[in-house]
Amino acid sequence: MSEPLALAVDLGGTELRAAAVAPGGQILAQIDTPTDATAGPARVIDQIVALIGEVRARVPDMTFLGLGIGAPGPLDPVAGIAIAPPTLKGWRDVPLTAILSDRLAMPVMLENDANAAALGEWRFGAGRGLHSVVFVTVSTGIGGGVVADGRILHGQRGLAAEIGHMTITERGGRCFCGAIGCFEAVASGSALGWRADAATRPGDGSRLRALAGSGAVTARHVADAAREGDAQASALLAEEARWLGIGFTNLLHLYSPEAIVVGGGLSVALDLMAGGIAATIIERAMPAYRDVPVVAAALGRHAGLVGAASLVLEPGSTRIVEAA
Amino acid sequence: MSEPLALAVDLGGTELRAAAVAPGGQILAQIDTPTDATAGPARVIDQIVALIGEVRARVPDMTFLGLGIGAPGPLDPVAGIAIAPPTLKGWRDVPLTAILSDRLAMPVMLENDANAAALGEWRFGAGRGLHSVVFVTVSTGIGGGVVADGRILHGQRGLAAEIGHMTITERGGRCFCGAIGCFEAVASGSALGWRADAATRPGDGSRLRALAGSGAVTARHVADAAREGDAQASALLAEEARWLGIGFTNLLHLYSPEAIVVGGGLSVALDLMAGGIAATIIERAMPAYRDVPVVAAALGRHAGLVGAASLVLEPGSTRIVEAA
């Protein structure tokens, strides 16, 4: 086995993960550590360099094509600059790829975390072999990445596919972004949890409150209760499926993907919502878009890591190609 | 002048237009004729061949790179097939580029009319020199085309950028597509006309009814009355600007263009709505997207024709580039 590997880093505000990834997407070695997110970029970059050293030591005698990094946006994927990630204190216009390619003496490529996860699912997961894929994460918020005609869709400053903040309604509470009616504000796991919490009271005898104990009802409790057959939870999931279906219909009309791949925490309940999502799409999408499958992500929390690896394994698919 | 030209056809359900276009986008000869839209594809293809012959006769001794065609969707731009254009009777999976390249003995390329107009504005009009542009036509309906990272965004079967049918609200009447809350159903010129018509009554003394005479009030009357300073018309345009601003904010978040270029009939009133659109974008868009200009299209009804020409003048920008 002398085929060169990729190194990959998934830089999160909580966890820093590094791996050695084979050309087929297999993770051959992985080490995770808490991100020292409040210590500033110099310290975190030291963490990355040290972690990469440890990963390399676990796969001795291998050669490496380079390092791919998934990091929180906003960032400039072409210039390789982390602009102002809100979860990393003190980061402001950090030329991450230049610094790390200097320290590690190898090519380094950068992509935002949602796009990295989209790349992972496209290259090695549920979107494998397709040409156009929309990847949506539904958890605390809603994020996503779009593969359009065989490339990640970047747009100006890499800011395309801010899926969670498309307006789809006048209902729901104010989104953290300040607007009303964002897809995320009505269809995220948080929004489902709020609806479930508001629909129940402590001690009301509901299955949801029994699962929640003394805490708030969350999307996870709704999914668990619905899977047990609880009618109230099933109704809440049906409403959630309808919101997701409305948003997904927009994504079909706007990007015309061959599949919508759903990841994030709430994707564990995708099977329970599939019928409701499909019914909403059939009701609302124009005929040519109705047959597009909505499928669960295949790689779970590894999507971003193997997607980051694909930045160096298959670099042509991720860069802006100039018009001829 | 021996630089080769492009031939271009704008195939509409009402009008068929053909032109010879210079590499800089200048139309050197143009002939229009009513489309024989009910006579079936063979007759219309004969019309195209005849019209191209006439255009060529007007620019003698020139060489031609090929023919670019803008035609109503749905169509497959890669295979060159008109799938089922609703305004052309009897057209069903017509291999238009194969037939015409055989008849004309030159390369022929096909794009849907909205994308052709987007290409025209991008290459030769208001989006010139940019890398990512969203082109929106606001008239009877709302359509559009997206240039993303230097290429037309196609998606599966070329169906991306069906901008008019993104859901943005629960308000408004049912869209012709069957859904409620489509951007087109609340923000098209038709929707503005309906609101203006519903807000007035024949003989009510309003400026709008004075302009409309015995007919219905239309978007054009609203624009004209607002330009005269009529307060009712200005209020209707302000509401229209708000709907456009909501939809445009979605387009910013989803495609992250460097500019939104607005064409179509209602773009004549864009200057009157610019303040309202900008205020809505500043209110609703996330900070990184707020500085993107919304500008009027520059080419008017010629956008589709010169865009079709650009399919053969600059073919690299319009084809799907396979991932490396």
Instruction: Give the bridge partners for A143, in sequence order.
Output: A137
Q: Span B90-109, mean pLDDT? A: 97
CB A141 within 8 A of CB A185: no
- Tokens 């974008």 belong to which residue? B281
The per-residue pLDDT for B322 is 36
Choose among B132, B162, B292: nearest Cβ to A253. B162
Instruction: Round to whole Å and give the CA distance between A296 and A127.
Output: 10
**Nearest of A160, A158, A172, A110 to residue A134 by alpha carbon:** A160
Q: Kindly list the residues from chain B whose CB atom is less than 8 angstroms away from the CB atom of residue A131.
A: 156, 320
Smallest CA–CA distance, residue A48 to chain B, in Å, is 28
CA distances from B272 to A123, A310, B200, B283, B293 (A): 47, 48, 21, 19, 15
CB A255 within 8 A of CB B167: no
Smallest CA–CA distance, residue B287 to chain A, in Å, is 9
Choose among A150, A315, A322: nearest Cβ to B322. A150
Instruction: Give the bridge partners for A138, in sequence order.
Output: A142
Q: Mean pLDDT per 10-residue run, chain A (324 residues)?
A: 88 95 96 96 98 97 96 90 90 96 97 95 97 96 95 93 95 89 96 97 97 96 98 98 98 98 96 98 94 97 96 69 35
Say whether B168 and A171 touch across the interface (CB within 8 A). no
Q: Kindly list the residues from chain A whose CB atom is less than 8 angstroms away from the CB atom of residue B74.
A: 288
Instruction: Sheet containing B108-112: give its strands across.
Output: B27-34, B15-21, B5-11, B64-71, B108-112
Of the residues B133, B167, B318, the best mutation for testing chain A's interface (the one with the most A CB atoms within 10 Å of its CB) is: B167
- Hey, what are A44's tokens? 């975190």
SS3 content of chain B, % helix, strand, coil (to 5): 45, 20, 35
Q: Is A148 on the interface with B (CB under 8 A)?
A: yes
Interface of B with A in 98-137 (CB under 8 A): 131-132
CB A189 within 8 A of CB A265: yes
**Which residue from B minimizes the CA distance to A123?**
B323
Instruction: Round to whole Å and give the CA distance between B288 and B213.
Output: 46
The per-residue pLDDT for B176 is 86
Q: Kindly list the residues from chain B whose CB atom is less than 8 angstroms away from the CB atom of residue A255.
A: 153, 155, 160, 254
Of the residues B131, B132, B255, B283, the best mutation for testing chain A's interface (the one with the most A CB atoms within 10 Å of its CB) is: B255
**Which residue from B minimizes the CA distance to A155?**
B256
Instruction: Round to whole Å and give the CA distance between B57 and B311.
Output: 22
Q: How deeply is B198 buried, as exposed, middle or buried, from its count of CB atoms within 10 A (0-12, 13-18, 19+)?
A: exposed
The per-residue pLDDT for A323 is 35
Instruction: Round to whole Å and give the CA distance between A128 and A122.
Output: 5
**Which residue from A minimizes the CA distance to B283?**
A179
Instruction: Name, in order, each residue with C-beta under 8 angstroms of B313's C-beta and a sequence gap of 6 or more.
Output: B6, B21, B23, B65, B68, B123
Question: Which SS3 state, helix, strand or coil, does residue A254 take?
Answer: helix
Smallest CA–CA distance, residue B205 to chain A, in Å, is 34
Smallest CA–CA distance, residue B185 to chain A, in Å, is 13
CA distances from A23 to A17, A64, A109, A124, B198 (A): 19, 11, 16, 10, 63
Instruction: Round to whole Å and give the CA distance between A109 and A82.
Output: 12
Neighbours of B322 (CB within 10 A): 11
Smallest CA–CA distance, residue A285 to chain B, in Å, is 8
Instruction: For Cα atoms A259, A260, A265, give the angle at the middle one, nearest 5 degrees.
Output: 145
ipTM greater than cut 0.90? yes
pLDDT value at B98 more than 80: yes
Instruction: Round to whole Å and give the CA distance between B185 and B173.
Output: 7
Instruction: Name, in order, each residue with C-beta under 8 angstroms of B46's C-beta and a sequence gap of 6 or more.
Output: none
Smallest CA–CA distance, residue B77 to chain A, in Å, is 12
- Hey, what are A269's tokens? 């309940």
pLDDT value at B320 more than 90: no
Say whether B169 and A170 touch across the interface (CB within 8 A). yes
Smallest CA–CA distance, residue A179 to chain B, in Å, is 5
Distance from the first to the final alpha carbon of chain B: 38
Interface of A with B in 276-315 (CB under 8 A): 283-284, 286, 288-289, 292, 314-315
The per-residue pLDDT for A172 is 87
The per-residue pLDDT for A1 is 52
The per-residue pLDDT for A322 is 36
Choose among A132, A161, A323: nearest Cβ to B151. A323
Q: Span B291-317, mean pLDDT? A: 92
**Nearest of B134, B291, B187 to residue A255 by alpha carbon:** B134
**Nearest of B243, B193, B238, B236 to residue B218 by alpha carbon:** B193
Question: Which SS3 state, helix, strand or coil, does residue B66 take?
Answer: strand
Smallest CA–CA distance, residue A198 to chain B, in Å, is 23
Q: How many CB pairs under 8 A join A and B?
A: 167
Q: Kindly list the residues from chain B whose CB atom is less than 8 angstroms away from the CB atom of residue A163.
A: 253-254
- Hey, what are A165's tokens? 């903040």
**Which residue from B minimizes the CA distance to A74?**
B288
CATH of A5-120, one of 3.30.910.20, 3.50.50.60, 3.40.220.10, 3.30.420.40: 3.30.420.40
What is B129-298's CATH number?
3.30.420.40
The per-residue pLDDT for A85 is 87
Interface of B with A in 189-248 (CB under 8 A): 246
CB A192 within 8 A of CB A182: no
Letter string b/e over residues A257-274, b meaning 16 or more CB atoms within 10 A of that residue's CB: bbbbbbbbbbbbbbebbb
Q: How deeply is B298 buried, as exposed, middle or buried, from its count of CB atoms within 10 A (0-12, 13-18, 19+)?
A: middle
pLDDT value at B262 more than 70: yes
Amino acid at site A70: G
Smallest CA–CA distance, residue B294 to chain A, in Å, is 15
- Hey, what are A77's tokens? 């994927």
Q: How deeply is A86 buried, as exposed, middle or buried, from its count of CB atoms within 10 A (0-12, 13-18, 19+)?
A: exposed
Instruction: Round to whole Å and give the CA distance between A3 and A111.
Output: 24
Q: Kindly list the residues from chain B whose CB atom is less than 8 angstroms away from the CB atom of residue A249.
A: 167, 179
Instruction: Round to whole Å and give the CA distance between A10 and A55.
Output: 13
Instruction: Round to whole Å and give the CA distance between B191 and B176.
Output: 12
pLDDT (tens digit per residue) in B200-229: 999 999 999 999 999 999 999 999 999 999
Chain centroid offset of residue A179 CA: 22
Choose among B177, B256, B324: nearest Cβ to A286. B177
Q: Kindly list the residues from chain A whose CB atom is less than 8 angstroms away from the CB atom of residue B153.
A: 148-149, 153, 255
CB B17 within 8 A of CB B30: yes
Instruction: For Cα atoms A310, B256, B321, give the angle at the middle one, nearest 5 degrees.
Output: 50
Say whether B157 and A286 touch across the interface (CB within 8 A). no
Q: Kindly list the residues from chain A whose CB atom is less than 8 angstroms away from the CB atom of residue B159.
A: 256, 288-289
Higher per-residue pLDDT: B66 or B322: B66
Instruction: Round to whole Å and give the CA distance between B81 and A181.
Output: 39
The per-residue pLDDT for A316 is 62
**Nearest of A323, A322, A321, A319 to residue A107 by alpha carbon:** A319
The per-residue pLDDT for B21 is 97
Q: Kindly list the residues from chain B whose CB atom is less than 8 angstroms away from the CB atom of residue A114.
A: none
Q: Kindly list the residues from chain B whose CB atom is less than 8 angstroms away from the CB atom of residue A177.
A: 286
Q: Kindly list the residues from chain A whose CB atom is less than 8 angstroms away from the CB atom of residue B317.
A: 323-324
Q: Enumerate the domain spans of chain B.
A: 5-120, 129-298
Amino acid at site B293: P
pLDDT (tens digit per residue) in B179-192: 999 999 999 999 99
Say whether A74 and B317 touch across the interface (CB within 8 A). no
pLDDT value at B88 more than 70: yes
